[in-house]
Amino acid sequence: MTLIETELPHDIRDIAPTESEIALFLDFDGTLVEIAPMPDAVHLDRQVAPALESLRASLGGALALVSGRPVSFLDEVLAPYRFDAAGLHGAQIRVDGEILSQSAVPEAMREATRDLVRFANSHVGIIVEDKRISIALHWRLAPTLKDEALELMRNVAARMGPAIRLQEGKSVAELVPAGASKGGAIVQLMQAAPYAGRRPVFIGDDITDEAGFEAVNALGGLSIRIGDGETCAAHRIASPTALRTILLTAAEHGRLTASSFS
């Protein structure tokens, strides 16, 4: 069994009837791929994209990526497949090739970008990831600079005002449109075909995924956290490798249900 039993209250089999029709929502970094030293250094196992494509078919199309990455990045890394996706922590949502919603590029983003690039240029190991609608400051290669980087991000976010929120993550902080969240994205997707009426399952690994777990819990779905760390997810899977095994096995059998994760 790849699901780690924790102190969590429920046995997954009590709440996950085998025959449920699920809608599957998957985070990307730390979930479909292992965390890498830099954003560009991630490696997706070559079997995963075709497996997701076959799972999508077996789920009647109800499979979407819910990521902090831009949708264009997800398309690139999963090519030739193009999945439904919520990118940039929910600031972009695409279903069946159509953009359902996309936040505008915040006015003050250009000035913020300049400040962050200036900081990165004078601090070795700091990386700025400019995603236009949001921007991330990474310190994974310079962990001793975490406090300084976070303070800068808090100041920049405060200066930008209520239209922007600070999203912390694994060795990263990001400026994100305030109205966007993974929870909001999942709720929006669950109102659209082919997701509506299904039981949501969301799998993620990071702070940004907590909003998604909350939404899925409220919808009576299954929330699954990859790895350890505090979470409101009801269940855990040990690692991206363990998840990959579950997904590839389900794809091989042409069937994915909530009990595939137990």
Ligand X SMILES: O=P(O)(O)OC[C@H]1O[C@H](O[C@H]2O[C@H](CO)[C@@H](O)[C@H](O)[C@H]2O)[C@H](O)[C@@H](O)[C@@H]1O
CA distance 114 to 33: 30
**Nearer Cβ to ligand X, position 60 or 229?**
229
Tokens of 109: 């983003």
| Least distance to ligand X, CB of residue 18, Å | 29
Q: Which of 24, 179, 160, 157 is nearest to 89 (CA)?
A: 179
CA distance 236 to 4: 6
**Nearer Cβ to ligand X, position 67 or 257?**
67
| Least distance to ligand X, CB of residue 138, Å | 5
Kindly list the residues in this chain that would bind ligand X in the complex (CB under 6 A): 27-30, 35-39, 42, 67-69, 129, 136, 138, 140, 169-172, 174, 206, 208
| Least distance to ligand X, CB of residue 19, Å | 30
**Nearer Cβ to ligand X, position 130 or 252?**
130
Q: Which of 175, 179, 75 is nearest to 128 (CA)?
A: 175
Q: Decide if 228 is catalytic.
A: no
Tokens of 158: 């405060």
Please give the residue whose beta carbon sits closest to ligand X in the complex.
68
Q: Regarding beta strands 199-204 and 172-177, do their DSSP bridges make them parallel or antiparallel, or are they unpaired?
A: unpaired
Q: How many other CB atoms are found less than 10 A from the CB of residue 136?
A: 22
Catalytic residue among 11, 14, 27, 115: 27
Query: Cα-flanking dihedrals φ and ψ of residue 210, to 5°?
Result: -60, -40
| Least distance to ligand X, CB of residue 26, Å | 9
**Nearer Cβ to ligand X, position 90 or 221?**
90
Residue corresponding to tokens 């109205």: 179
Whether 233 and 10 have beta carbons less than 8 Å apart is answered as no
Q: Residue type at 207? A: I
Catalytic residues: 27
